[in-house]
Amino acid sequence: MIDEVVKVLNDVKRKMPLIHVITNYVVMNDNANALLSFGASPAMVMSPEEAYDFTAISNALYVNIGSINNEIKQAIINSVSSASVHKIPVILDPVGCAAIKSRIDFVKMLLKLGSISIIKGNGGEIKALSGENANVKGVDSLDDNGVMEACIKLAQKTNTVVVSTGKEDYISDGKKVVIVKNGTPLFTKITGAGCTLGAIMSATSAVSDDKIIAALTALLAVNIAGELAEKESNLPGTFRAKFINNLYIINPDIIKKHAKFEVLKV
């Protein structure tokens, strides 16, 4: 598996995929800088008039519903429709859906509208989408109980690769689950670590048809870059900058040295 991860990492750098990003206002700049450091080419195109055509010329679409309004919703609908027609991978980040129930309906509508390659949320968001009660505070998840089971269940229900983040991360296609143990709690002290992960996952999905490998590559790159950043600074402001630097520096040898994951059949 690690050899496939290395290939995806190298392919992002070589191909510099164009990523159509529809994300929240909070993390816009962080997502763009993270993608550039990782070797991809971000473009934040958020207007309903431009969304359909821009998705058509992109290599992947990242949809994050963290600060949606009617206009952004329409842009998302247009882009997801375009992605289905033009066979562009879509990474969907259901930010806040455990706290704001109408977002669950919007996500379900999107799942019917087009083919979604990966649903990626924190433990609370994935639990809420799978129909479980979730303990959250706004966009933050407060407990990890039953998250792996919810991730597997949602993957089976939606026939999609589902990624759930937290202290441990889970990737499932409903048949197996990959548990990733890298990362640092400092990610919970900066805003948008999950959103940045979603953006990076869009870059890896642009160059890999195997969405489990695409998800694993993004998780290892982000979480290991975070571990290395923490060694340089354990304060949030500087950690954020060091994280971007390490996302730029990260290479196959670093990934191979630090990766901590296991695969279970379900």
Ligand X SMILES: Nc1ncnc2c1ncn2[C@@H]1O[C@H](COP(=O)(O)OP(=O)(O)OP(=O)(O)O)[C@@H](O)[C@H]1O
* Least distance (Å) between residue 179 CB and ligand X: 11
Of 201-260, which residues contact ligand Cc1ncsc1CCO (CB under 6 A)? none
Question: Distance (Å, rounded) from C-alpha 2 to C-alpha 147?
Answer: 25
Q: 119: phi > 0 → left, psi -120 to 50 → alpha, else beta; which?
A: beta
Tokens linked to 198: 């979603």
Which residue of 27, 116, 119, 180 would you call a contact of ligand Cc1ncsc1CCO, by CB under 6 A?
A: 27
Q: Does 94 bind Mg ion (CB under 5 A)?
A: no
The answer to whether 192 is a known ligand-binding residue is: yes
Question: Distance (Å, rounded) from C-alpha 10 to C-alpha 252?
Answer: 8
Q: Does 123 bind ligand Cc1ncsc1CCO (CB under 6 A)?
A: no
**Phi, psi angle pair for 107, to nearest 5°:** -65, -45
Among residues 212, 169, 217, 193, the alpha carbon closest in space to that of 40 is found at 217
- Non-local CB neighbours of 88 within 8 Å, separated by 6+ positions: 20, 55, 56, 58, 59, 60, 61, 82
Q: What is the DSSP string of 66-101?
A: TT--HHHHHHHHHHHHHHHHHT--EEEE-TTTTT-T
Among residues 37, 42, 33, 31, the alpha carbon closest in space to that of 66 is found at 31
Determine the size of the site formed for ligand Cc1ncsc1CCO (CB under 6 A): 10
From the list ligand X, Mg ion, ligand Cc1ncsc1CCO, none, partner contacted by residue 52 (C-beta under 5 to 8 A by kind): none
* Residue number, nearest CB to Mg ion: 194
Q: Does 160 bind ligand X (CB under 6 A)?
A: no
Tokens linked to 60: 């992947």
Determine the size of the site formed for ligand X (CB under 6 A): 23
From the list Mg ion, ligand X, ligand Cc1ncsc1CCO, none, partner contacted by residue 197 (C-beta under 5 to 8 A by kind): ligand X
The answer to whether 165 is a known ligand-binding residue is: yes
Q: Does 141 bind ligand X (CB under 6 A)?
A: yes
Binding site for ligand X (CB under 6 A): 95, 122, 139-141, 165-167, 169, 183-185, 187-188, 191-195, 197, 219, 222-223
Binding site for ligand Cc1ncsc1CCO (CB under 6 A): 24, 26-27, 66-67, 95, 139, 191-192, 195
- Which positions make up the binding site? 44, 120, 165, 192
